[in-house]
Chains A and B, each alone.
Chain A
Amino acid sequence: MSGEVSQLEELKAAIRGQLDSLDCVIGWEQGYDPLHATPLFIRSEADLERLTISPLAVHNPATYTTGFKGKKIGLVVRGCHSRSVIELLNEKLIERDEVVLFGLCCDGVVSQRKIRAALPADPGFVEAVELGKDELHITVAGEQATLKLQEVLADKCLHCAYPDPLVADVLIGEKHAPRQAASPACQDAFEALGNEEKLAFWQDTMSRCIRCYACRNVCPMCVCQDHCIATSRDHLWMSQENTPVENFMFQMIHVSHLTGRCTECGECERACPVDIPLMLLRRYMNKQVREVFGHQAGIALDKTPPLLTFQVEEARIKERDW
């Protein structure tokens, strides 16, 4: 992991150089145990020392940017995070001259869910984590377990077409050869289901939802601030009743609001405490938008999501034939 160590030092040096001119730089540090990272808001040299960029550092720092509007901040971004930044820029929700982007060429981050499943017992509090080249050595309750990194990478990383930041002021690490995006197996399996089966699937899955809105709160594209339609009583689109119908209605609203905007950073699914596979809905909607409008969110600057434009006739929807 010497490569990563030198990359971390390079990144720290780059941040140190600009720290004085920035209100804050957002990265990651170790969380409540060595297995979990947590976002780090760097405001001083001392904060900077805690910075980590290991594959355990998973959070999308773009989520916090809109709260810093009017200030100048730095962000440490992986490829997928840079897509969120691009989309926010395209929607004029943040200003380019108010963010400095420290880009990391990314080899993927872990899925805590997969790690939890791969460990022999529920990890609870992890004592130590050692990162090998392709392996994770995790010590829980005095016992060490070794996991292959490849096997615990997040789904989005297995099929990632943009591992390198698409926009960055400083770029750390080696760029990857171009890759082709692919649909994960779970997506194909879900889409192959019949309508009745899908209905049954969501009825079951949505009955788990506790309406904690973690999926909304981590979403970098959810920018309604305190005015989310889901918790509004004036327009009463949905009640607070915790039933599969209302829970699913919330997800439908979330997906509709993300049409052509979702950058598939996977934060919603990661944050969900009851493991609802929310990305199934997001990926499906993104596929529709790609097919109908030829649009993919967050891969190029100055592209407006198709549903946020008005055209008398859409280029790819033929409504009449004269």
Chain B
Amino acid sequence: MRIGVFICHCGSNIAGTVDCESVVEIAAGFPEVVYATDSMYTCSEPGQEGIITAIHEHNLDGVVVASCSPRMHEPTFRRAVERAGLNRYMFEMANIREHVSWIGKDKAHNTNKAADLVLMAVEKLRRNRPLVAKSFTTVKKVLVIGGGVAGIQAALDCADGGLDVVMVERDQSIGGKMAKLDKTFPTIDCSSCVLGPKMVDIAQHEKISLYACSEVESVSGYVGNFSVTIRRRATYVDWTKCTGCGVCTEKCPSKRSPDPFNEFLGTTTSINIPFPQAIPKKAAINPDTCMKLQKGKCGICAKVCPVGCIDYEQQDELVTVEVGAIVVATGYDLFDWHKYPQYGEGRYPDVITSLQYERLLSASGPTGGHIKRPSDGKEPKNVVFIQCVGSRDRSVDRPYCSGFCCMYTAKQAILTKDHIPDSQSFVFYMDIRAPGKGYDEFTRRAMEEYGAQYVRGRVAMIYPHGDQLIVRGADTLAGTQVEVPADLVVLATGVEASQGAVKLGETLRVVPDQFGFFVESHPKLKPVETNTAGVYLAGACQGPKDIPTSVGQGSAAAAKALGLLSKEQLESDPAVSKVNVNRCVGCQKCIDTCPFGAIKAVTDRMGRLKAEVIETVCQGCGICTVTCPQGAIQLEHFTDNQILAEVNALCPPKMNNVSFE
């Protein structure tokens, strides 16, 4: 082979603590290296041109670039060597930035280590062989998981772009958390008035099919060709017939069913349509409280239904859809504030969450838009808001900021004054985070125009006093303790990953972070991609986000899906497993361990069992290669010999030694 080595300075990022010229000198002496040089920024256009020129001038057939992590620039350099006529797998990258210059200050040691890493790359490259990608067609259909505002936006953009869309929503209606809100900051426009039309668009768009009361059960396949099994939970109502007239909900005698849409502030009927603007506007029976399903008696809804759509025998149904891309928009759930002893752990009915307060403010809520406190239905005069409940608090394992609580608390203070002009709001806060267009002005308005009293400090305890609650806390600006009598306490509850997100992540092979939020491919440059090709993120499932950001991400994810599926054919990564049928003894251990079902058993001409890799399904994880005892299945581009060559480059085998050292 004729190998060229290029050592990158990365400005001073590498050259600051690595003697790049020395590495060039050392590398020039490595086996089969015929050309070695250094450059200021190898990834820049002149840097890439330098590689291409060197390939032509020195007749190179392999290239090593020692620079940064391959995560970002391996594709860049692979394209560069391909432009020069080499196969893109005749390229190796040594990471001398993240693995060397950024983590050590000793220049001599760093230089030494950088040279070692280059040697490893050279030794691996000597055993590389050209690999060619295979092409495959894609399904022009997108699965959107979650029908909150982010998912709605993604679905509408994909559908408008010409793709078929399947939307899966766990709840009975789409709309997500935004559908529960009364008004939105900083414009105080009605939440359901802006969201409602978009929800209707979902129902009416000819390219969108909606599965509500449904969950993703399993996902197989790969980018461009996913096969998704959806579990449609039994609703005991035939939705193909239900017109959403609501007669059943009026006549249902079982009125003590919990009401999740109203955040459990009241109860509802066992057969129910969660709210007037619900999409799909279909009734569903709660089997836990329905007397017919529990005790076999009643059956009133079936009698009153004008179209005969009630079906007490209905079972869950599994539906399989083929899609080319998946947008995950599973949103968030509220932190369980009952973990805090200082807020009463749920003993006081007049301590509620901010989302419950939204339902009290909303005209479609359980109180018809009149603020009535849960304990006695009285109109509160003193309302105390406590911020950062389950947010920025290491003691409850929620060190992150939930982001939008400062804003909605200000909004709720303003709305409280609008609803009850003689009321007084108090806000206990840590500091105000309002970095958005018109956001800081908005919080100022809450304080200055609406007279909300902001107290900077944490609340130590809440205790009952008469029919009021006393909120005792610190005012750290005044350096005093304060006690505020409250008729109602609203907790600005922080957000956490949606329940079931971790399990869904396993199904989709999307990694959750330590709090359950899905990890994007790159925090800056790939915010809606995941490390699984063809799976994109939108909205709060990736981290706390307000409505505009979620909508923006919905559109971004849709743009990614549209871009992906606009190609007629996709290329598969040829770095997949390959079976050496001569070595394979047909024990099928690889088939059992493959997490992707990418290996099947076939019979050869002699009637012997052999393993065979389905190349487009294989993800190149390498589990099969470590399972196979005889080394018959090898991961292309990462074969045992290539990895052993790297190890041997670092720890040269000492021949004829008789010691273990």
- By a beta-carbon cutoff of 8 Å, the part of chain A in contact with chain B is 91-93, 199, 202-203, 207, 223-225, 227-229, 232, 234-237, 239, 241, 243-245, 248, 257, 304, 307-310, 312, 320, 322
Q: Determine whether the beta carbon of A199 is less than 8 Å from that of B660.
A: yes
Residue on A nearest B645 in the bound complex, by CB: A236
Given contacts A227-B630, A312-B506, contact A239 B653 (CB under 8 A): yes
- Is B640 interfacial (CB 8 A cutoff)? yes
Q: Determine whether the beta carbon of A243 is less than 8 Å from that of B658.
A: yes
Residue on A nearest B585 in the bound complex, by CB: A225
Q: Determine whether the beta carbon of A91 is less than 8 Å from that of B589.
A: yes
Of B51-59, B192-200, B362-370, B590-598, the one touching chain A: B590-598
Residues from chain A with Cβ under 8 Å of B653 in the complex: 239
Q: Determine whether the beta carbon of A244 is less than 8 Å from that of B658.
A: yes
Given contacts A92-B588, A322-B516, contact A237 B644 (CB under 8 A): yes
Q: Determine whether the beta carbon of A227 is less than 8 Å from that of B583.
A: yes
Given contacts A235-B631, A241-B655, A308-B593, contact A224 B644 (CB under 8 A): no
Docked complex Cα distance between A203 and B582 (Å): 36
Residues from chain A with Cβ under 8 Å of B639 in the complex: 235
Residues from chain B with Cβ under 8 Å of A309 in the complex: 592-593
Pairs across A and B, CB under 8 Å, 25 listed: A93-B587, A223-B585, A223-B629, A225-B630, A227-B582, A227-B585, A227-B631, A229-B631, A232-B631, A234-B641, A235-B631, A235-B640, A243-B657, A243-B658, A244-B659, A245-B657, A245-B659, A245-B660, A248-B660, A308-B592, A309-B592, A310-B595, A320-B514, A322-B502, A322-B514
Residues from chain B with Cβ under 8 Å of A93 in the complex: 587
User: Beta-carbon contacts of B620-661 to A below 8 Å, as 1s and 0s?
Assistant: 000100010111101000011100100000000101111110
Across the interface, B630 reaches (CB within 8 A) one of A199, A228, A236, namely A228
Q: Determine whether the beta carbon of B658 is less than 8 Å from that of A224.
A: no
Q: How many chain B residues touch the partner (CB < 8 A)?
A: 33
Docked complex Cα distance between A245 and B629 (Å): 20
Docked complex Cα distance between A243 and B502 (Å): 50
Please report the number of residue pairs spanning A and B whose Cβ atoms sit closer than 8 angstroms. Answer: 78
Docked complex Cα distance between A236 and B641 (Å): 7
Residues from chain A with Cβ under 8 Å of B658 in the complex: 203, 207, 243-245
- Is B515 interfacial (CB 8 A cutoff)? yes
Residue on A nearest B582 in the bound complex, by CB: A227
Docked complex Cα distance between A93 and B585 (Å): 10
B402 to chain A, nearest CB (A): 17
The 10 closest A-B pairs by CB, nearest first: A235-B640, A224-B630, A227-B630, A257-B629, A227-B583, A310-B593, A235-B631, A310-B595, A312-B506, A308-B589
Docked complex Cα distance between A244 and B656 (Å): 10
Does more than half of chain B's interface fall in helix, strand or loop, or is it mixed? loop
B633 to chain A, nearest CB (A): 11
Residues from chain A with Cβ under 8 Å of B583 in the complex: 227
Q: Determine whether the beta carbon of B587 is less than 8 Å from that of A203.
A: no
Docked complex Cα distance between A308 and B631 (Å): 15
Residue on B nearest A70 in the bound complex, by CB: B607
Docked complex Cα distance between A309 and B592 (Å): 6
User: Beta-carbon contacts of B548-587 to A below 8 Å, as 1s and 0s?
Assistant: 0000000000000000000000000000000000110101
Docked complex Cα distance between A239 and B585 (Å): 23
Q: Determine whether the beta carbon of B587 is less than 8 Å from that of A223.
A: yes
Given contacts A203-B660, A225-B585, A310-B594, contact A236 B644 (CB under 8 A): yes
Residues from chain A with Cβ under 8 Å of B582 in the complex: 227
Docked complex Cα distance between A241 and B657 (Å): 10
Q: Determine whether the beta carbon of B627 is less than 8 Å from that of A243.
A: no
A317 to chain B, nearest CB (A): 15
Docked complex Cα distance between A214 and B214 (Å): 59
Docked complex Cα distance between A322 and B583 (Å): 43
Residues from chain A with Cβ under 8 Å of B657 in the complex: 243, 245
Residue on A nearest B503 in the bound complex, by CB: A312
Specify which of A203, A229, A235, A245 lies most central, judged by the most chain B CB atoms within 10 Å of its CB.
Answer: A235
Docked complex Cα distance between A307 and B624 (Å): 11
B499 to chain A, nearest CB (A): 11
Residues from chain B with Cβ under 8 Å of A322 in the complex: 502, 514-516
Across the interface, A310 reaches (CB within 8 A) one of B623, B632, B634, namely B623
Residues from chain A with Cβ under 8 Å of B514 in the complex: 320, 322
A306 to chain B, nearest CB (A): 11
Residues from chain B with Cβ under 8 Å of A310 in the complex: 592-595, 623
User: Beta-carbon contacts of B404-432 to A below 8 Å, as 1s and 0s?
Assistant: 00000000000000000000000000000
Given contacts A91-B589, A245-B660, A304-B592, contact A235 B516 (CB under 8 A): no
Docked complex Cα distance between A241 and B583 (Å): 23
Residue on B nearest A91 in the bound complex, by CB: B587
Specify which of B506, B589, B629, B639 lies most central, judged by the most chain A CB atoms within 10 Å of its CB.
Answer: B629
